[in-house]
Amino acid sequence: MEINLENKKGDGLRRKFITNIIFGQKLINCLSVEKKNKVSIDYFLNHIENFKKQKNERWEEKIDHSKYINLIPEDINLKLVDNTDIIIKNNYHIEPYCKKSLKLITPMGIFGKTSFHYKLVRLESKYYDLFGILYYGENIVGYICCGKRNSTSYKNLYIVLVKEYGRNFYDKMDKKLVIINDITEDISFYEKEVYQDYLRHFRSSLFSMVYEILGENKAIKNVVCIGEEEGGNLLQLFTVDFFNNKNDCNLKLNDISFHLFTLNTAMLSTDTFYKDFVELLGENSVITCFSRKNSAYESWNENKRMNLIFS
């Protein structure tokens, strides 16, 4: 795959790339300023609040793109070259959760989807490096960054995903479990659309970015997932998916610890799902937080495994 910056599509990629650079620089600037002032729950909430703040700035509408039009290097195809093309793992699934094959996207493919890649630009920050931006359609819904251990290595990788539930999500508080054809009898979901969103829009992008980052940065010891509302559910699925597939791909990873913080995230499945989930990560690695005005914590069934905390 090659990127042609001279045609109409290439111009669109330039504009999005420039917007993402401005967005990303502001994001990690604010994170760096607040890093020493935030602890415990506030540290996780700061990632979510800062992301929302930058989204609300609507940088796309404020930027004079003509000033930055040459930011994308002309040798982009060389910088993002990957001779493996698209890798399809036909035999590995997120069993017992789905039967769909895992597809890893090349760096060039990631740039085509998100108009950002860390090999093209390194933003300036004392504490963080931005590695990826997550999209849902044309909307930015999250980011991937690494916390700096020193000038040459990282200890923590952060995946932040903020995606609100649909307008009618809470219309029915007595949710019914739904079994999808490609899920075994052992698992079912209250909201099948969330599961389908994960498969269609996030699975390949998340896997591709995270595997590439971990493969090139062996010092990373922790993956910290921070999600709000549906973003939390999507990261729950990704975490289980990652553990089930990490040993089956052509990438040797060191021991990685996962930590998950969710805000106002409703139950996705039954208590059995969360029992296995907590056992996989460890009870102290899962923090579930709700605002008092949010009704997610009192819907569906009472879940005694979610370590409920109110902000």
Q: Spell out the domain ranges in the chain.
A: 83-310
CA angle 184, 186, 192 (to 5 degrees): 70
Distance CA 148, CA 255 (A): 19
At residue 304, the pLDDT reads 45
Structural class in CATH, domain 83-310? alpha beta
* DSSP summary character for residue 298: G
Nearest of 221, 223, 197 to residue 209 by alpha carbon: 223
Residues sharing a CB contact under 8 Å with residue 300, sequence separation 6 or more, in sequence order? 173, 175, 190, 266, 267
Summarised one tens digit per residue, pLDDT across range 30-78 is 888 876 555 578 889 999 999 999 988 877 777 776 766 666 666 677 7
At residue 11, the pLDDT reads 67
**For residue 90, is pLDDT > 50?**
no
Summarised one tens digit per residue, pLDDT across range 258-276 is 899 999 888 887 777 777 7
- Sign of the Cα torsion 252, 204, 209, 223 reads negative
Summarised one tens digit per residue, pLDDT across range 277-304 is 788 888 888 888 887 666 676 656 554 4
At residue 262, the pLDDT reads 92
Q: What's the distance, CA 122 to chain centroid?
A: 19
